[in-house]
Amino acid sequence: MSPKHIHDVPENRKAVAPYNFVELPDTVVQAELEENGKLRNNDLYYQDRHTGRIECTLTTSSPLYIRCGLTLEQFKFVQKQLREGKKYTDYPDFFYNPVTNKPEIAGSSLRGMFRTLIEIISFSKIGKVSDAQKFFFRAVAAEKDDPLRYQYKLEKLKAGYLEEEAGKWYIRSVIEVNDSKNSYFEVKERDIQIYMPSLITMDKEKYLPQYIEITFDIKNNPIQVSERDIYQFKGWLVTSGNMLETANLGEVQRKAKLRSKEGRKYHYIVPEVDNSADAHRFEICADAITDYKLSLTDYQKGKLFKENKKNQFHPDNGILKVGIPVFYCEPLKEQPVKLFGQSPNFRIPFYPKGHRKAADAIDFIPENLRESSIIDIADAIFGFVKQEKQPKDVEQSRAGRVFITNAQCKANNNHIWLESHPIIPKILTNPKPTTFQHYLVQPDEINAEKKHLKHYASEPIKDTVIRGHKLYWHKGSNPEIKHPNPDEASDTQLTQLKPIKPEVNFEFTIHFENLSSVELGALMWVIDIAQDNKYRLSLGMGKPLGMGAVKVTHELYLSQRKDRYTKLFDDSSWHIPETVEKSSKYKDDFEEYILSQLTQGGIYEKVRKFTQIPRIQMLLAMLTWEENPSSDYLEQTRYMEIERKKAPCIGNDPNEYKERRVLPTPLKVIKEILPSEELTEGQVVEGTVIKIDRQQVPDGKKTKLKTTITYEIQGSDCPSKEEVNKQEVSLTIGDMVKVKIERCQGTSVRKVKRV
């Protein structure tokens, strides 16, 4: 089984976040295959398969936004702005139909939403994970109990110069200065400003890392440096980041922070290159070059400084430029350089033991969950294209059998917008997977202790896995999405958008062909959840802010294929025989199939009900909907902050990330933010019919029919039963009715009666 996340995180170690994770499956459930081990061909309609459509109405429950692509004129204008080095603001238009000029939701967006959820509920493989993003870190001032303190080892740190030859990169050593064994020297910025007119100092708003040719002398203290040719030795002054370059600060915030004592105070002098025959030259490992390029941040690509002519960073190669000083760890004899960077405190990759390459997300997914040869239910329904070349007897690709139209807005354009003008939302940056205390499973035995936390170089690597599917908590119908002070924020981090307000309807159709009862059941399971008042799905941009909560109601129509082809016309129209169906039968078939596959594999042997599976309970927790969430709910589902300025603050330090607190499971979070209501005898609640048993029981010399109805009641930890002495019961599986609690103990409702 996959490692499980800690069951109870100690109170003083709990983190909060607008996201959480549905745990990884313990095994992958295969699709229904034929005797030959392949999917059935789809070249004809089968009598035991289902073809039809699902007519859906999507209703927005919180502001919704899906950005529109650029018109040809807009694209040309943006390209012109970029060529001229100018800034441009994102176009705020919602995705729309250029013919009707009305907003639409792309069918591809809906398809992606449904597929993700079906992958979760059907225990599909974790296949669509990129190995391009490598995990790097820096732990210069890590505290003693930080698990990365002893991982961050820069031994035999040297400086040299980059060279390229025949597609390979090398580092050449520097000259020796006054018998010093140092290949670089530290110098405080305050000691070098007099003779450095080109230097952009750290207190300047337009500060950026620089490479400046200098002369210097180390005889005196402080070291003497100048851009003029007045000192004995030549070299380069290399400046580094001032710890503020990625802080997303506006002008007011930045000036205030620069007046403080924060930030770096040192620069580095690198003597000129040693071009003698005796100079050392080290090859840089090709894998290290690849990992470095794949891990470049916007900062290292120079995107934050692209308007500055002194910017030395390359958008694809970072600092990899011939003749540029570089810092590196000197390798063992006849070994290539694996660690290098722009400053002496450069980031290094997580290298799990025995790995030649830097760690990426795929390394932390169990092999049995990413086996590409497995065809799962999501593959069978939506189709697939395998990246690797498959043997002749293995399918390379398969077309999907579900087709989703664009969702068309049914309201007038004048009454659908959240505001009449575009808004500027709060700043959202890219996910930070290197916050390993959130993204990796932290087992029970470490008790969430900081020094024992699992990270991307933990051993053994097989026991270190990702948390699972990342989803976002809903924030109610009126979440705070607008930026409070856009004038004080960095222009490069701001965007504009024009969201649609809550309670706006869209209509779309899901067409399907040749789905088995299990496959149709998987689709209907998700769509039924989407119309339940207790839950909402998520769509579009701004999910961390609470945007994109949607409800979907539906009607299922099954096509009668045999009748369809026995008659062509029906009066003046086509003859299209259809029947309206309930989804409950197909949902039951799906749930039974998944449970049977899991129990046959020895997993969840004691679980008798699909929604009792922890993975499914976690999903339902993440989909839970509150129209007006409490302040405690919002506090438990916010981002932590590096500089928390308002109460409450997690811990005693305004840097809420400092102690590497651990994110609890969704089930633990939901119990805190939505305490279950106390159930009492005599209380009237809603129950969902999950089972109906009919049997003949003795009644004197005769027998009579006795019916037992089993209900699921939210908040009860066991099924609830009602015994009915009637010949007929006009209920079906899936019906929701009001029942009165007749026998209850704690959270266990045993007996109920319809009212």
| Tokens 């110069």 belong to residue | 161
| SS3 state of residue 589 | helix
Report, as an integer, the average pLDDT of 411-432. 86
pLDDT of 339 > 80? The answer is yes
Q: Which residues contact 115 (CB under 8 A, 6 or more apart)?
A: 378, 381, 382
Among the listed ranges 233-237, 259-263, 422-426, 743-747, which one has the minimum average pLDDT value?
259-263
CB atoms within 10 A of CB 393: 8
- Cα torsion 248, 250, 253, 255: sign: positive
Residue of 736 and 469 predicted with greater confidence: 469
Give the C-alpha separation, 172 to 188, whole Å: 26
State pLDDT tens for residues 104-142.
999 999 999 999 999 999 999 997 777 777 888 888 878
pLDDT given for residue 263 in this prediction? 46
Q: What is the reported pLDDT for 261?
A: 45
- Average model confidence (pLDDT) across the chain: 87
Work out the pLDDT band at 244, boundaries 50, 70, 90: low
Read off the tokens for 220. 């005196």
* Residue, of 208 and 171, whose pLDDT is higher: 171
pLDDT at 727: 59
Q: Tell me: the pLDDT tens digits for 10-35?
A: 999 999 999 999 999 999 999 999 88
Which stretch, 427-431, 576-580, 616-620, 735-739, has highest mean pLDDT? 616-620
pLDDT at 490: 66
Task: Determine the average pLDDT of the residues in 481-497.
Answer: 79
For residues 64-90, give the mean pLDDT. Answer: 83
Q: To the nearest whole percent, how much of the chain has pLDDT over 90? A: 50
Is it the case that residue 438 has pLDDT exceeding 50? yes
Q: With 90 as the cut, is the pLDDT of residue 352 above it?
A: no
Query: The tokens of 338 are what?
Result: 């694996």
Is the preceding peptide bond at 222 cis, omega within 30 degrees of 0?
Answer: yes
The yes-or-no verdict on residue 658 having pLDDT over 70 is yes
Confidence of residue 246 (pLDDT cuts 50, 70, 90): very low
Beta strands in 178-272 (DSSP E): 185-188, 211-217, 224-226, 233-238, 266-271
- Report the candidate in 116, 22, 26 with the shortest Cα–Cα distance to residue 620: 22
The Cα–Cα gap between 681 and 57 comes to: 38
Question: b/e per residue, 361-384, with b = 16+ CB within 10 A?
Answer: bbbbbbeebeeeebbbbbbbbbeb
Q: At what angle do helices 614-623 and 107-121 cross, to 10 degrees?
A: 150
pLDDT at 358: 85
Cα-Cα-Cα-Cα torsion 133, 139, 142, 147, nearest 10 degrees, comes to 50
Res 664 pLDDT > 70: yes
- Tell me whether residue 297 is exposed, middle or buried, using C-beta atoms within 10 angstroms of its C-beta: 0 to 12, 13 to 18, 19 or more: middle
Per-residue confidence (pLDDT) for residue 473, from 0 to 100 = 97
Report the distance separating Cα 752 and Cα 721, nearest Å.
6
Residue with more model confidence, 301 or 214: 214
Instruction: Quote the longest CA-to-CA distance of the chain.
Output: 120
Per-residue model confidence (pLDDT) at position 434: 78
> Residue 651 and residue 14: Cα distance in Å, rounded?
10
Q: In this model, does residue 452 exceed pLDDT 60?
A: yes
Using CA atoms, how far residue 300 sits from 118, 305, 556, in Å, is 38, 10, 52
Nearest to 753 by CA among 745, 742, 744: 742
Evaluate whether 212 touches 237 at the Cβ level (below 8 Å): yes
Residue with tokens 């990270």: 455
Question: What is the band of 306 on the pLDDT scale with cuts at 50, 70, 90?
Answer: low
pLDDT of the residue at 583: 82
What was the pLDDT predicted at 250? Answer: 46
For the cut 60, the answer to whether the pLDDT of residue 248 exceeds it is no
What residue ranges do the domains of the chain occupy? 11-125+374-555+583-673, 684-754
| Helix/strand/coil (H/E/C) assignment for every residue in 656-694 | CCCCCCECCCHHHHHHHHCCCCCCCCCCEEEEEEEEEEE
| Residue 612 confidence (pLDDT) | 84
Q: How far apart are CA 416 and CA 500, in angstroms?
A: 6
Measured distance CA(17)–CA(295) in Å, rounded: 24
Res. 489: pLDDT tops 70? no
Are 352 and 461 a contacting pair, CB within 8 Å?
yes
Question: pLDDT band for position 172 (50/70/90)?
Answer: very high
